[in-house]
Structure 1
């Protein structure tokens, strides 16, 4: 499984924006669609809140790509 490391420069980042910032989708709107489809896991559980706050230490997975937030 490919892994991306994302360095957080603030308290949190919204889930749809994280997907955009890591290049897994083209826009925040596309990120929202991926979340709505149930394709995104946060810490191993399906996350349906498009603007869920992701903080350092959490893991996000889309298909076979894992993002580790530091």
Structure 2
């Protein structure tokens, strides 16, 4: 039962690298660049990287605002 609760919490609060890239509509390389530039934080445990869902959703909103500002005609 405890494992199930932990999995529910993971699903609720975190995204994997792949899920994050898909959600943001960017490549894994672009995601890596965001992390390196300090635009998005990740949590690493061994070879696994997780992203806080709230941070990813915030970045998605910022990304939309930046696109409207710098590409108003697309």
- TM-score of the superposed pair, with normalisation by structure 2: 0.39
- TM-score of the superposed pair, with normalisation by structure 1: 0.40
Please identify which structure carries the higher helix content. 2
Tell me which of the two structures has the higher relative contact order, counting C-alpha pairs closer than 8 angstroms and 6 or more residues apart: 1
Which protein shows a greater Rg?
A: 2
